[in-house]
Amino acid sequence: YDISFQLSFLASLGIIHIKPLLDYGIIRLQRSVFPAVAESALRGFFDILSVTFAAQIITLPIIVHNFGRISLVAPITNVLVLPAIPALTILGFLVSVIGACFPAASFLAATPCFVIMLYLLKVLNIFSGPWAAAELPNISWLWPVAYYAALFAVIRFLRARLQSELSESF
C-alpha cells in the first residue's frame, strides 16, 4: 500500500531491466546521427537520459493511477537536476561531519550546498507551472495491468532480439 515503496522498487527494476535496452538503442542512434562525436563525450548525458526514461517508463502507470496526472517536463527536469544530486549528497555529508566536529566552520562548509540548492529550487520553480503536467482523472486499474503486460512483452522481445544480434556478431 506504500506508493513510495512501489515507485522506488519499480524505478530500480526499470534501471536494471530497461536502461540496458535504452543504452543499446541510444548508442546505435548516436553512432548513426553523430558518428564524428566520440561516445565518451556524450556518455554522461546519455546515461542520465537512459536512467530517467527507464525509471519513468516503468513508474508511469503507478503515478497516473494514484495521482491522476503525468508530468510533461520530467525528462527535461531530471536531465537538469540529476547531475547536481551526487554533489549535493557528498557535500551534505561533509557538512554534517564538519558541523559535528567544528560547529563554527559548518556555515562556510554549507555554502556550496546552499548554491546547489538554489539551483535545484530555480529549476523546480521554472518547471512546476500548471502547464507542466496533464490531468488524467479516473484511470481504471485495468490500464496499469495492460500497460505492464505490454511492457513485459516488449522487454522480452527486445532482449531476445538483442541477444540474437550479439550472438551473431561473435
Distant-in-sequence, close-in-space partners of 91: CB < 8 Å, separation ≥ 6: 109, 112, 113, 116
Q: What is the mean pLDDT of residues 114-133?
A: 94
CA dihedral 157, 158, 159, 163 (to 10 degrees): 110
Of 13-22, 27-36, 77-86, 152-161, the least confident = 27-36
pTM, two decimal places: 0.78
**pLDDT band at residue 170 using 50, 70 and 90 as cut-offs:** low
Angle between helices 142-169 and 39-67 (to 10 degrees): 160
Per residue in 7-61, pLDDT tens? Answer: 999 999 999 999 999 998 888 887 787 776 666 667 788 888 899 999 999 999 9
